[in-house]
Structures are given as structure tokens and as C-alpha cells.
């Protein structure tokens, strides 16, 4: 696999928008051509080389290309947006929309990611080793079709409205989440290994949410179905005892399932 290394120079106050940083665009270009790729600095188009040092070797085939961003890009948005193949490794923090509309390939963020990571994702893998912001794997504003497929793994915590309008795929949050996880979810799977504050599965119509930690408050629109042991979701068995709920019955014809670990959650059972 060929590697292109982008070393960020000083990140500006007015953020950069770099949906062109992805193997699909870099493939088949020389280093000189890659340096001249256009990105946006606020409302002004600039060259990639104005803000990144570019080294390495490109490849004809995007699937054979790995882009390594060697440092913090916390003022750069939309890295890997719409990417189809190949790999991106970000060795630091990244701003909003990393891997948005991603269709294939793999993105790894070693630091934290801003909000809307993996927005309306269709396929591929997005792994964030630090924390993620709000709206991980969400829909575009006003759209009712969110994430369709692919996998998002967040090792740290995540914010509000994870998997908003989710239609498929898998989101795993190893840390804690804030409120409204799986809001308006229709299909797919969300696993929260840490705690959730409130409103898990709000207005969900379908899909599955598993919370292994503690939920502070639970919604009154759900129906309690009892305790289930060693649950089977997405072809894998999750060991342990879980309270099972169906809902959110505030939504017409809702058939969503929420599993909440029995341990520590006695207060949410009626």
C-alpha cells in the first residue's frame, strides 16, 4: 500500500474545508498535483500545500492508497467526506464531518473528532480512538434517512443524538453518551458500553439499542418486556442480563428494542 503523508502547518483560526483529502482524489496524481489540490479556507479557495506539507508516494488505485495526517487538524472539516476506498489515518484531533457520506474504506482518528462524524454514512469503517462530538452517524438536517450502513466505533465518549434517524449499520460507543441516543432510529444497531443520561431510543420506530452502563432516566413511552439473558443481536451474543423494552410507543407502530443492563438500572423498571 502506498502512503501519502500530510504534515499540517499552522492550523488557521478560520477553518479549512477539505473534502478533497481522500484517496479517491489523491489516486493517480503526482505529489506536485496533490499539492495543488484545492481546499477552502473560509470563503477562499487555497492550495493544499498552503496548509500541509505533502510527501510520500501516490498510487493509481485509491484502494491501494493510505493518507496519513501527521498531527492535529482540529480546524479542518470534512476530511474523507464521501470517500469510497483506501485508508486515512489522522494522528491527532479533527474538526467536524470526518467521514461524512463515506461509502467505503477506512478512517482512523487517533484523537478526538468534532460533531457529525460519519454523517449519513453508507459503508466502510470509521474508528475514533478519542471522544466524538454530537450527531455521530446522524442524518443531514431535515432528512429522515440517516446512516445506512458501515461501522462507527468510538473509544471515548460521545455527545447528543447519536445515530439520529439511523437506517442501518452499527455504532459502538465504548464510553458514555449524553441524551437522545438513537432518536428517530428506524433500523440498525447502537451499542453503548458506558452510561447514558436520558431519552435513549426517543421516538424510535425500529432497530436495536443496547446500553451496558447506567441510564439515569428512561422514557415513559416504552413497554417493559422483562429480563433476558445473553442477548443475541446482529448475529453475536452479548453476555449478561438485560431489561428488555419495546417502543417508543409515542411513535405510531413503533417496534424498536432497547436492552439495558440489569446491573445498576433497577430504578428504570416500573
- 204 contributes a contact to other proteins by CB under 8 A: no
Q: How many Å apart are CA 10 and CA 16, to the nearest integer?
A: 11
Binding part of the chain for other proteins, among 48-56, 64-72, 149-157, 214-222 by CB under 8 A, reads: 214-222
- 205 contributes a contact to other proteins by CB under 8 A: no
Of 28-47, which residues contact other proteins (CB under 8 A)? Answer: 40-44
- 259 contributes a contact to other proteins by CB under 8 A: no
Of 120-149, which residues contact other proteins (CB under 8 A)? Answer: 134-135, 141-142, 144
- 187 contributes a contact to other proteins by CB under 8 A: no
Among 226, 239, 266, 270, binds other proteins (CB under 8 A): 270
Of 68-127, which residues contact other proteins (CB under 8 A)? Answer: 96, 115-116
- Interacting residue ranges for other proteins, rule: CB under 8 A: 13-15, 17, 40-44, 96, 115-116, 134-135, 141-142, 144, 161, 179-180, 183-184, 198-199, 202-203, 217-224, 247-252, 270
Amino acid at each position: 500500500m502506498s502512503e501519502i503523508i500530510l504534515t499540517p502547518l499552522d492550523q488557521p483560526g478560520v477553518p479549512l474545508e477539505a473534502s478533497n483529502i481522500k484517496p479517491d482524489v489523491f489516486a493517480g496524481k503526482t505529489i506536485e498535483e496533490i499539492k495543488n489540490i484545492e481546499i477552502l479556507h473560509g470563503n477562499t479557495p487555497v492550495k493544499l500545500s498552503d496548509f500541509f506539507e505533502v510527501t510520500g508516494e501516490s498510487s493509481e488505485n485509491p484502494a491501494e492508497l493510505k493518507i496519513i495526517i501527521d498531527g492535529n487538524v482540529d480546524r479542518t472539516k470534512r476530511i474523507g467526506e464521501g470517500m469510497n476506498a483506501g485508508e486515512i489515518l489522522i494522528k491527532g484531533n479533527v474538526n467536524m464531518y470526518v467521514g461524512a457520506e463515506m461509502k467505503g474504506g477506512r478512517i482512523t482518528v487517533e484523537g478526538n473528532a468534532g460533531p457529525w462524524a460519519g454523517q449519513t454514512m453508507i459503508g466502510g469503517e470509521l474508528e475514533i480512538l478519542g471522544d466524538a462530538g454530537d450527531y455521530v452517524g446522524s442524518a443531514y438536517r431535515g432528512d429522515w434517512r440517516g446512516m445506512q450502513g458501515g461501522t462507527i466505533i468510538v473509544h471515548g465518549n460521545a455527545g447528543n443524538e447519536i445515530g439520529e434517524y439511523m437506517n442501518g449499520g452499527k455504532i459502538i460507543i465504548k464510553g458514555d453518551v449524553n441524551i437522545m441516543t438513537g432518536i428517530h432510529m428506524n433500523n440498525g444497531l447502537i451499542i453503548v458500553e458506558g452510561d447514558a443520561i436520558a431519552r435513549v431510543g426517543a421516538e424510535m420506530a425500529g432497530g436495536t439499542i443496547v446500553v451496558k452502563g447506567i441510564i439515569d432516566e428512561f422514557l415513559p413511552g416504552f413497554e417493559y418486556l422483562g429480563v433476558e439473558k445473553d442477548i443475541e443481536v446482529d448475529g453475536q451474543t452479548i453476555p449478561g442480563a438485560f431489561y428488555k423494552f419495546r417502543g417508543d410507543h409515542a411513535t405510531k407502530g413503533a417496534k424498536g428494542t432497547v436492552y439495558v443492563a440489569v446491573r445498576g438500572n433497577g430504578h428504570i423498571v416500573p
